[in-house]
Structure 1
């Protein structure tokens, strides 16, 4: 069962079965990644350290709309300087930035968690091929690498026998989806919703799969209850230290097993989901994707991108498209050309 937040804040109720996906957009200011309330991406902490400046003189007769447009233009010019992120050069065998990953997300145990599970395998493959063709046509300079993104640890609406509020996917199901990926020469991503477990504990279970050269990792802060609460009743969070732990694990596997670099996808659609983003370390053995994971109309998705992805550059970017939730109010699903109009152009595209 997928849980979402509408424009009017609501209490979130956990489903009795599987939880998955992202909450939608909330109106008003959101807490920044550094803990301050902001609309611009400059945290209260950072602002407190900035030298005092006199407000710029207002041109005579300038309207409020014109002042806002001038301020927005100055902000965007400043943010544009942060992209592309200066990081380590890609190692041989790296997927990004020369290819764009197009992934189908979900879990075969549920038709409500995503297209990976909603459709029978032949129909799913045919639909993925159509999306691949559309993306290749829209941007032939960045050929598509297909992927299947399996939720391998699924947050639950009750504690379970071990009190961890998560269900681990069976080895048999992981191998089944991995077999599907091999048939398509696709990558496989294992997504982790830790509930009240720990990232260290859940990654340990997945090591046998992550040692494979075509298996990569996704982290979902929404259901990481590192600061308390129950999955689905509040949005969870990861700090940079958690993400750095995953980077260290993946980098160690790359070195030990002589693997090509791994891709790490981190979901995000609010500020507090990822704290201290500026402390996320870049390692050439791990390519980090900050993934815009919220549903709604195109204008809402662009707004979330501009507030929670664009102002907080880490390395690469991703964008999620929801076949049902993006369109349920009659709005169109964003086309590849719409997504490619974003700056920077997302290199990881996920369909749910």
Structure 2
């Protein structure tokens, strides 16, 4: 119901059909007052973190959806009939306020005795309109904006009229400038007022995702009016919003409706929600590696000072050092700076070893204390592979138990990918795009099947020939983020020459990393100098 001041008679409705008798009207007013008093002692059952939801907003309601409880059997009480979409995930198509509002109504309502109307662009009336729709438990539809073309206004108006007809609406409640449209286009059927309308039984089995955008406000109000749990998100990928992840972990998200085409295909949305529902977040928050964070890492091997800064001190001291190095970047970065370890997991060797592959594979038991301590302390970990004669995929699978941890990614170092009779240090190795893709596809599938946050896949490179057919490297994964890490050392001029060369014809959708050398650079870049590199690297390691 809608009241002025919360206790007066309902206003602003457009009725169609003959007037009721005076006795009927007085009875309706009495019911209205009683409903208001009852509502004053209730709170909404919807979880609201905010956001747009979605389902395929077809021309009518979902015929296979499960309707809510039937309207009250008493003559003076009416409810809308709502429904949970049958699919595990549905996406309401559209981007405009009118499209999203129609899609939400079509997806969630089978019938409604009333509907609230607000004109497109009438922001001043939107707050009142949303509150009215939520109070009554009826859809909020968006009528054509004043001043638009006649053709566009007709098409938009026809869509609203068709939805009012489908819902069998008898009373419309126009707010603001929508009143002018309603006077000409209100339903032509026997109707009443809103005094006898009560909200439908809440759709507790549904989570609605809604983007924090003005265009989604009307659709979001429609979702709330059904009693569904609304989760707002700042991103169309709910994994990218830490608050949305937390909200989804608290709710039963077995049925999800997302408001807007930006949420993408329903199957992809379902997979993303399944990850978000675990509630597990990456260091720095959320479940997507980039954007939203920058990583600064110590590189090396536990217990070996010769292989980099990571092994120059015991575990606890290495964690403290990584945090100090990362902290130097925070004043220079808009994004959260996360400390990290890049651990050389398989170490290139001058001797063939027992398996003849010129690569020493560190045991999982040796690495686990480092990885688990990093996890507890909020560090990300990258497992770096130097495979010798073994292929990257074979070595990656050895460490699957560590990769099951949410804060662990993978790095491929082609410098040490060799073929017989090549030997480490005598030649710079290389890898083909096909092997990179096989490894990436395995990691993406592994991440998806285990409902893990997105993982980082780093490709080390300082010469273009280290990755043959680099343009064929696949980067369009949803479960992993591919990053090219520039390993050039020397003078600033030499490092920038390497950096610029690697950017030529680089694959699309890659992120970029930068390595600073404490000894091999002349001089070592300061954090400020590193942040002035363009594009600004999102991963910085220290060797």
Match of 2:418 among 203, 214, 225: 225
Contact 2:389 2:420 in 1 (8 A): no
With 176-185 and 273-282 compared, the bigger mean Cα shift is at 176-185
Contact 2:471 2:505 in 1 (8 A): no
- Tell me the distance in 1 between the aligned counterparts of 2:318 and 2:367: 17
Gaps of 5+ in 2: 1-235, 241-286
Deviation of the 1:349 alpha carbon: 0.7
Contact 2:364 2:399 in 1 (8 A): no
- What secondary structure, in the 3-state scheme, does the structure 1 residue paired with 2:344 have? strand
Deviation of the 1:124 alpha carbon: 2.8
Contact 1:157 1:165 in 2 (8 A): yes
- Tell me the distance in 2 between the aligned counterparts of 1:316 and 1:90: 21
Contact 2:386 2:417 in 1 (8 A): yes
- Tell me the distance in 1 between the aligned counterparts of 2:319 and 2:408: 19
Deviation of the 1:254 alpha carbon: 1.6
- What secondary structure, in the 3-state scheme, does the structure 2 residue paired with 1:241 have? helix
Tell whether 2:403 aligns with 1:210.
yes
Deviation of the 1:249 alpha carbon: 1.1
- Tell me the distance in 2 between the aligned counterparts of 1:258 and 1:120: 33
Q: Partner of 1:319 in structure 2?
A: 514
Q: Partner of 2:460 in structure 1?
A: 267
Contact 1:240 1:274 in 2 (8 A): yes
Deviation of the 1:228 alpha carbon: 5.2
CA deviation map 1:271-315 (0-9, x unaligned): 110111111112111100000012212221111101123552441
- Structure 2 length as normaliser, TM-score? 0.46
Contact 1:91 1:284 in 2 (8 A): no
Tell whether 2:325 aligns with 1:131.
yes
- What secondary structure, in the 3-state scheme, does the structure 2 residue paired with 1:191 have? strand
Q: Partner of 2:525 in structure 1?
A: 334
Deviation of the 1:259 alpha carbon: 0.7
For the aligned residue pairs, the C-alpha RMSD in angstroms reads 1.9
Distance 1:287 1:309, change over 3 A: same
Q: Partner of 2:361 in structure 1?
A: 168
Within 5 A, what are the aligned runs for 1:341-352? Answer: 341-352=532-543
Within 5 A, what are the aligned runs for 1:139-158? Answer: 139=333, 141-158=334-351
CA deviation map 1:121-167 (0-9, x unaligned): 3443333222212211111x111122111111111001112111111
Distance 1:241 1:89, change over 3 A: farther
Q: Partner of 1:251 in structure 2?
A: 444
Contact 2:418 2:429 in 1 (8 A): yes
Within 5 A, what are the aligned runs for 1:94-113? Answer: 94-113=288-307
Higher relative contact order (CA 8 A, sep 6+): 1
- Tell me the distance in 2 between the aligned counterparts of 1:287 and 1:101: 13
- Structure 1 length as normaliser, TM-score? 0.70
In proportion to residue count, which structure has more helix?
A: 2
Count matched residues: 260
Gaps of 5+ in 1: 1-87
Q: Partner of 1:303 in structure 2?
A: 497
